[in-house]
Amino acid sequence: MTLSSDAARRHDFALSLIREAGELALVSFRDLAHVAVDTKLDGQDVVSAADKAVEALIRSRIAGAFPDDGFLGEETGLSEGCSGFHWTVDPIDGTSCFVHGLGSWCVSIALSDREKTISGLIFAPVSDDLYAATIGGGAYLNGAAIRVDTATTIETGLVGLGASHRVAPAEISGFLHALLTADGMFVRSGSGALSIAEVAAGRLAAYYEPHINAWDCLAGLLVVREAGGRTMFPGAGRRLLDGGPVIAVAPQIETRLLALIEAAAHKARS
Ligand code: LIP
């Protein structure tokens, strides 16, 4: 499937915009002492002046080029559009890492038509990694085609795990217990978007988080599907503002991963 010319124009536009946005964020990252930080839901849920500045840049550029498109940004919320195209943006995913001087953060931009994500971009400025996918067009890391790791197993691969205070601690610890008991191992990088993209590149075998927001994952999930992986996220479409559990996984371990998640959920309920 190839993108329509309207969609392709937006994808190309976003490819250059995401680099500009990442470079703006990087300037602040190199000068953290002068970056204001506020808390949101709790002390671990942070937003910096850089998040706001980067979202303002992305939002104004998109509004200038495609004024009838819809937009949802983590920091500025939802504006409905009437063009049939919708942008979902996280200006800095992994803000906690960002404000603590850790390099695991990225900019995430997803473009959807009326039904589904059609373009997904993730840019990690510290490593200079740009992940890009279009629906039916494959997944790429810095221009080279990528695939999920089809040889990995629960016992040999790494499962990215996301955690936040939006879910009960037992949901996280229950999954960790199940994974470790199955001889698996976890990584928490602090950026859900980047971890999901790392599944597409075969760096992680899977990513699981009991609750994530749409702006953290829509772009990465398209990259994973285009790289041959499986994804689950109920928080798209009408539930765009609710978020939900997210899974991105290499196909051969999907059944086992789901069983581990179900075992943990069953234990948490009993
Ligand atoms: C955060 C993610 C983090 C995830 C949280 C949260 P933010 O986004 O990247 O990895 O576990 O659910 O949404 O606040 O850094 O954009």
Best mutation site among 37, 172, 216 for ligand 1, i.e. most ligand atoms within 8 A of its Cβ? Answer: 216
Q: What's the pTM? A: 0.96
192 lines ligand 1 (CB under 6 A): yes
**Cα–Cα nearest to 94, from 160, 188, 191:** 191
Residue nearest to atom 15 of ligand 1 (CA): 94
pLDDT for position 55: 98
94 lines ligand 1 (CB under 6 A): yes
220 lines ligand 1 (CB under 6 A): no
pLDDT for position 11: 98
Atom of ligand 1 nearest to the CA of 194: 9
Strand partners, 138: 134
On the question of pLDDT at 238 being above 90, the answer is no
Residue written as token pair 């009437």: 82
pLDDT for position 162: 98
Which residues have C-beta within 8 Å of that of residue 237, sequence separation ≥ 6? none
Cα dist from 48 to 52, 165, 191, whole Å = 7, 19, 15
Rounded-to-integer distance, Cα 195 and Cα 217, Å: 10
Q: What is the pLDDT of the chain when averaged over all its residues?
A: 96
90 lines ligand 1 (CB under 6 A): yes
74 lines ligand 1 (CB under 6 A): yes
pLDDT digits (tens, 9 = 90+) for 105-128: 999 999 999 889 999 999 999 999
- Ordered strands of the 244-249 beta sheet: 185-187, 158-161, 206-212, 244-249, 230-232
Residue nearest to atom 1 of ligand 1 (CA): 94
194 pLDDT tier (thresholds 50, 70, 90): very high
pLDDT for position 250: 98
pLDDT for position 167: 92
Rounded-to-integer distance, Cα 132 and Cα 123, Å: 9
250-268 per-residue burial string, b: 16 or more CB within 10 A, e: under 16: bebbbebbeebbebbbeeb
